[in-house]
Chain A
Amino acid sequence: SQTIHQWPATLVQPVGSPLSLECTVEGTSNPNLYWYRQAAGRGLQLLFYSVGIGQISSEVPQNLSASRPQDRQFILSSKKLLLSDSGFYLCAWNLAENQPQHFGDGTRLSIL
């Protein structure tokens, strides 16, 4: 069966520091991969999605970036974090459009 892993589960970072969050999917090939951010008590905002290695689409202009160095690995990065980057970051996958996206358990990022 397919599984998705995100790490770390929680992260506290100072303003201006870099960021790297990792997501990996097991048990499937060539998944579509997604990064979302969820503010406290709010819905999900799509940040990036990828349909293949090296293919990244950005939905929201910001100081974050994403990369897909391997088929089942999706990385969210920043060179310099802002206070507004705090939130709950979720990675998801599916195999085709109009199929459910399946989520990891997220990384809670706090910026001090």
Chain B
Amino acid sequence: GESVGLHLPTLSVQEGDNSIINCAYSNSASDYFIWYKQESGKGPQFIIDIRSNMDKRQGQRVTVLLNKTVKHLSLQIAATQPGDSAVYFCAEGGYNAGNMLTFGGGTRLMVKP
């Protein structure tokens, strides 16, 4: 069936470096994508979203890139800080899916001081 997945289960970066977390999706009908951050023992926290009519969206220290041609989504975190250490999930949705989001398996980001 359709699925959302992540290339790297664990990503380790040095404090101050940029981080890139990747996500592949297989449902070409998806037109809405979200990135979440989940810290240990807490619920996922919304970071940024992007709709399929855009290929890039920027927030505070974060950028989401969408490549519809290869069905790829990435989250870039600039100047990674220890507080960025968490598990990051991508999720996809679409008009065909109604209110439903399909979540990927997650990537753990570890920031080394």
> Contact residue range for chain B?
20 to 34
> Are B99 and A42 neighbours in the complex by a CB distance under 8 Å?
no
Chain B, residue nearest A49 (CB): B99
A102:B104 contact, CB within 8 angstroms = no
**Interface assignment of A90: CB less than 8 Å from any CB of chain B:** yes
Contacts of A6 in B (CB 8 A): 43
Q: Are A102 and B46 in contact (CB under 8 A)?
A: yes
**Size class of the contact patch on chain A:** 20 to 34
A70 interface hit (Cβ, 8 Å) = no
CB distance from A93 to the nearest CB of B (A): 11
Is residue B21 contacting chain A, with contact meaning CB distance below 8 A?
no
Is residue A28 contacting chain B, with contact meaning CB distance below 8 A? Answer: no
Contacts of A43 in B (CB 8 A): 89, 103-106
Decide if B95 touches A97 in the complex (CB within 8 Å): yes
What are 7 A-B contacts defined by CB distance under 8 Å? Answer: A32-B99, A42-B106, A43-B106, A101-B101, A103-B36, A103-B45, A104-B43
9 closest residue pairs by CB, A with B: A103-B43, A98-B32, A44-B103, A100-B46, A43-B103, A43-B105, A97-B99, A105-B43, A103-B44
